[in-house]
């Protein structure tokens, strides 16, 4: 049975602080945990046991890394079979992955690579999302990535492309507001206008994170820094419009002590709660 | 269904020398891979350096994972050599597992023959890399921790062992080397046989084996021979008689492994 989706600010579970969370350091301090199934699939020993323990104490949301929804290789049966078993076990209300490609000709490149923003690509990606959803027997949500270039000539902008994909696939959207900020900064568009252009009614979850400069002209989505004020504002902007959603704080490099991350999550929760109040006022007006 | 733009970017990420070629003439490099028309113009407008950000991100992520997993072997190999080997691996094979944690083992499996054939690489390096990978492999093996069979050992039955247990053979005693990546100690060159397993508290344990013990366990674990047949084949492989002394040694070994939770009982 699939669980009801949590709302509020959660934390991405990482090996660096897994033991601290098992010990109870985050109990009552985050609304949920998000896990990357690839970190636990086809794996035994201590980590899966710890995850099983945590699943009894926290709502779990799953977010994958390697589905390569924008790729051209056929899906791997073994990967999907294992993923489905994992999702069945943890009762995830939906499963999410990225609008990107990650490998070709059987080789895995272990990164989130950009796809052309074209109608033809949107059709292909939407078809693969529907296939993934059928294989996993649950709804899919797709995440907008940070992209650092346009791969060839596009006939759509990113917001149009994402809209085309989610409507063709009839899937949900995991809106990463840090990626919106990074893309807006790198490509010179207005982040709030971009958010206004996507189908917000399809958003089921948000991601929020920090980024770092690659050089003077490029920000990179490293998840290696605290969340910037402008990105917090984007989260607030979205929650004011969508109402309650799970918001996931991601940190993958330069990981501080768990206490610091929990403090950051708590500060985000304050902003989230204020945004919800605005949403409620708007709804009742 | 192929997409030429993805095919081209795949080449840019994986091909040896693609960084120099794209910096020299991005348009020509893209055209060589079938890109044309508006796509070619758009790619040229982006410029090589921005595309190469992705090459750096992809290479750095996987190469750093390799460094993390085989830290001592890489420290002895040298970063420059690792980069060169990694670039060749990316072009020729690359990773195939969807799990990032599998990248180091995939790389070492490919690199080991070229390191073995290269006099500039220390002879013990392959054993050291395999050994560094082993601990992570055992700790995270999806097998292991199975329940005892509840059946007494019998000479005519194969035995069941913990699924995460491994037999390892090295030419060097790499398991005795310093854990400090800064050390440059050289392991003793001595045939080394280990049984490596995960204990109930999820710690990796190493058990040094005699040639006879290794030969016996090879038959029982890897070839799943019935006990009597395994003992006979093990002694035959060593050119030794299966006498009372060796039977006693084998019995002691199996009793010890049962106590450690590695031997789970007889198969049905």
Residue A9 falls within a domain, yes or no?
A: no
pLDDT at site A38: 95
A62: helix, coil or strand? strand
Nearest-Cα residue of chain B relative to residue A76? B98
Question: pLDDT under 70 in chain A at which residues?
Answer: 1-3
Per residue in B204-263, pLDDT (tens digit) is 999 999 999 999 999 999 999 999 999 999 999 999 999 999 999 999 999 999 999 999
Phi, psi of B243 (to 5 degrees): -105, 180
Per residue in A233-280, pLDDT (tens digit) is 999 999 999 999 999 999 999 999 999 999 999 999 999 999 999 999
Q: Which of residues 104-163 of B touch A (CB under 8 A)?
A: 139-145
Per residue in B169-199, pLDDT (tens digit) is 999 999 999 999 999 999 999 999 999 999 9
Q: Which residues pair with A143 in a beta bridge?
A: A98, A174
**pTM given for the model:** 0.94
- Region B21-37: mean pLDDT is 97
pLDDT at site A285: 82
Q: From the candidates A53, A67, A104, which should be mutated to test the interface with B, based on the most B CB atoms within 10 A?
A: A104
pLDDT at site A1: 45
Contact at CB, A116 and B3, closer than 8 angstroms: yes
If one counts the domains in chain A, the total is 1
B157: nearest Cα among B104, B212, B230: B230
pLDDT at site B2: 82
For residue B12, give how far its alpha carbon lies from the nearest alpha carbon of chain A (Å): 12
Residue A224 falls within a domain, yes or no?
A: yes
Contacts of B141 in chain A (CB under 8 A): 44-45
Contact at CB, B62 and A110, closer than 8 angstroms: yes
Task: Provide the greatest CA pair distance for chain B.
Answer: 82
The interface predicted TM-score of the complex, written ipTM, equals 0.95
- Give the Cα separation of B54 and A111 in Å (integer): 9
pLDDT at site A92: 82
Q: Which of residues 196-215 of B touch A (CB under 8 A)?
A: 198, 202
For residue B253, give how far its alpha carbon lies from the nearest alpha carbon of chain A (Å): 25
pLDDT at site A164: 98
Contacts of A153 in chain B (CB under 8 A): 37-39, 41-42
- Give the Cα separation of A216 and A210 in Å (integer): 17
Contact at CB, A107 and B94, closer than 8 angstroms: yes
Contacts of B99 in chain A (CB under 8 A): 38, 41-43, 66
Fold observed for domain B144-266: Outer Surface Protein A; domain 3 (3.90.930)
DSSP-H helix ranges across A198-257 = 229-242
Note down the domain range covering A145.
Answer: 18-284
- Region B11-38: mean pLDDT is 97
Residue A111 falls within a domain, yes or no?
A: yes
Within chain B, all domains assigned CATH 3.90.930.50 are found at 144-266
C-beta of residue A201 within 8 angstroms of C-beta of residue A234: no
Could you give the count of Cα atoms lying within 13 Å of A61 in the half-sphere of its Cβ? 32
Which value, in Å, is the radius of gyration of the alpha carbons in chain B?
25
Residue A6 falls within a domain, yes or no?
A: no
Domain CATH code at residue A115? 3.20.20.150
Does residue B1 surpass a pLDDT of 70?
no
pLDDT at site A4: 78
Contact at CB, B6 and A214, closer than 8 angstroms: no
């Amino acid at each position: 049975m699939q669980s009801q989706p949590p709302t509020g600010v959660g934390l991405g579970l990482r090996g660096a602080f897994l033991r601290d969370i098992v010990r109870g350091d985050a109990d009552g301090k985050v609304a949920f945990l998000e896990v990357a199934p690839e970190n636990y699939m086809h794996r035994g020993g201590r980590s899966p046991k710890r995850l099983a323990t945590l699943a009894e104490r926290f709502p779990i949301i799953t977010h994958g890394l390697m589905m390569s929804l924008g790729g051209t290789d056929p899906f791997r049966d073994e990967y999907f079979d294992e993923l489905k078993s994992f999702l069945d076990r943890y009762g995830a209300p939906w499963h999410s992955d990225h609008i990107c490609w990650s490998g070709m000709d059987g080789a895995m490149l272990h990164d989130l690579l950009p796809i052309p923003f074209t109608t033809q690509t949107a059709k292909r990606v939407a078809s693969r999302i529907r296939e993934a959803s059928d294989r996993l027997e649950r709804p899919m949500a797709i995440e907008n990535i940070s992209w650092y270039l346009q791969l060839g000539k596009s006939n759509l902008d990113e917001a149009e492309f994402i809209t085309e994909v989610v409507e063709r696939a009839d899937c949900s959207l995991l809106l990463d507001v840090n990626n919106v900020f990074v893309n807006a900064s790198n490509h010179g568009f207005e982040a709030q206008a971009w958010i206004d252009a996507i189908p917000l009614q399809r958003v089921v979850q948000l991601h929020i994170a920090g980024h770092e400069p690659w050089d003077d002209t490029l920000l990179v989505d490293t998840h290696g820094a605290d969340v910037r004020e402008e990105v917090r504002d984007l989260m607030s902007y979205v929650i004011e419009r969508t109402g309650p959603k799970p918001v996931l704080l991601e940190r993958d490099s330069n990981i501080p002590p768990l206490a610091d991350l929990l403090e950051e999550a708590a500060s985000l929760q304050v902003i989230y709660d204020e945004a919800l109040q605005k949403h409620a006022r708007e709804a009742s007006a | 269904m192929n997409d030429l733009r993805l095919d081209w970017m795949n080449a840019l990420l994986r091909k040896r020398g693609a960084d120099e070629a794209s910096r020299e003439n991005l348009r020509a490099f893209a055209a060589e891979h079938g890109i044309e028309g508006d796509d070619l113009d758009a790619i040229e407008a982006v410029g090589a350096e921005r595309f190469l950000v992705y090459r750096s991100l992809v290479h750095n992520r996987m190469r750093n994972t390799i460094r993390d997993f085989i830290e001592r072997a890489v420290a002895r190999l040298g970063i420059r050599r690792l980069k060169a080997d990694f670039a060749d691996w990316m072009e020729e094979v690359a990773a195939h597992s969807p799990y990032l944690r599998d990248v180091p083992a995939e790389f070492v499996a490919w690199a080991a023959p070229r390191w073995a054939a290269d006099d500039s690489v220390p002879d013990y390096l392959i054993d050291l890399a395999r050994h560094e990978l082993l601990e992570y492999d055992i700790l995270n093996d999806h097998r292991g921790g199975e329940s005892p069979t509840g059946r007494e050992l019998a000479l005519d039955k194969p035995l069941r062992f913990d699924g995460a247990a491994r037999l390892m053979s090295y030419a060097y005693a790499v398991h005795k080397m310093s854990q400090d990546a800064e050390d440059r100690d050289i392991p003793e060159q001595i045939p080394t046989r280990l049984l490596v397993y995960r204990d109930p508290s999820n710690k990796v344990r190493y058990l040094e084996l005699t040639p006879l013990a290794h030969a016996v366990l090879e038959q029982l674990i890897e070839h799943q021979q019935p006990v009597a047949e395994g003992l006979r084949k093990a002694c035959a492989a060593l050119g030794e008689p299966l006498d009372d002394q060796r039977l006693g040694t084998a019995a002691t070994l199996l009793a010890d492994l049962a106590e450690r939770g590695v031997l789970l009982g007889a198969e049905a």
